[in-house]
Amino acid sequence: MSKRIGRNSSLELLRIISMLFIVMNHYSGEEPWNMKGASLVDVISYQFYKPLGQVGVDIFVLITGYFLASKVDSSYATSIKRASKIWLEVWFYSVVVFLIGSFYYANFSIVNMVKGFLPVLFNNYWFPTAYIILVLLVPFINKILEKISKRDYLILLIITIFCGEIMPIIGNTIFSLDKGFGDILAVYLVGGYIRKYGVAIRKLNLVLVVIVSYLLMLASILTLWHVIGYEGNVTRFTYGILPFIMAVAIFLVFIELPSFTNKTINWIANCYGSCNYHSFY
């Protein structure tokens, strides 16, 4: 009997980091900060973690694509099983949140009840909804990726990255919203490409890309805050191409790290991932 190979804990550690990024983003993006009359220092402190949210989402999907896009033998029954598991987790958290909001905060309404009990159908949480769609389509996507040439794969990446990561920034959401299926489809395809063909970039250059991308996102928040004011969409550029580039650079750094197995890290990654699907909204 062959010995089972454990999961690569360096990528499981990256999965944990991606979840932390999302939680930190919610600290900046969802807390009711009073931006009116805020100083430059206040704005920086309020929004310092905001760029990390979409970076965390993209890292999570890159890991999925890296491991899943090469499975051409993945059956549709397996995809339904995966999607059902995610749906059940999301449904559980959604109902709990609805019940707490209804009874503890006295915030009951029929609309909230319908959305609470049917969170995926009514897109109550954007990421699980988009991710379930992706999982259901994976068997078909993977078969296409297996058959096309490297050149065709690159053309596919250019099209999906442009439509999913650049067009939404300028307000064209025909392919995807700034947070939607088209966005994670492009990221999934990149993860699959890296696994199939590899991407060789010096680690120092990758670190510089991470730093520059993050600083550009922070600079965009400050610039938009100065130009359109605190009531405008000052976080427009913390979605799309910049967090995508930062996430890919971080991912490329981690896949070059020595592989190791740590049961504690793997357990935390599995538990933390399952317990935080409701954070993607």
**Each residue's pLDDT expressed in tens, for the chain with a length of 281 residues:** 334 446 788 999 999 999 999 888 887 765 555 666 667 777 777 788 888 999 999 999 999 999 999 887 667 888 898 899 889 989 998 899 888 888 887 778 888 888 889 988 888 888 899 999 999 999 999 999 999 999 999 999 999 999 999 999 888 888 887 778 999 999 999 999 999 999 999 999 999 999 999 999 999 988 888 787 666 677 888 999 999 999 999 999 999 998 888 888 888 887 765 544 444 43
Phi-psi bin for 106: left (phi > 0), alpha (psi -120 to 50), beta? left
The reported pLDDT for the residue numbered 41 is: 75
Q: Which of 203, 164, 205 is nearest to 57 (CA)?
A: 164
Contacts from 79-86 at CB under 8 Å and sequence distance 24+?
Answer: 79/135, 79/136, 79/137, 79/138, 79/139, 80/136, 82/135, 83/132, 83/135, 83/136, 86/128, 86/131, 86/132, 86/135, 86/277
The reported pLDDT for the residue numbered 33 is: 58
Q: Is 78 exposed, middle or buried (0-12, 13-18, 19+ CB in 10 A)?
A: middle
Question: What is the Cα–Cα distance from 184 to 23, expressed in whole angstroms?
Answer: 19
The reported pLDDT for the residue numbered 3 is: 41
The reported pLDDT for the residue numbered 274 is: 52
**How far from chain centre, in Å, is Cα 119?**
18
Question: What is the Cα–Cα distance from 17 to 247, expressed in whole angstroms?
Answer: 11
Residue written as token pair 């979840």: 19
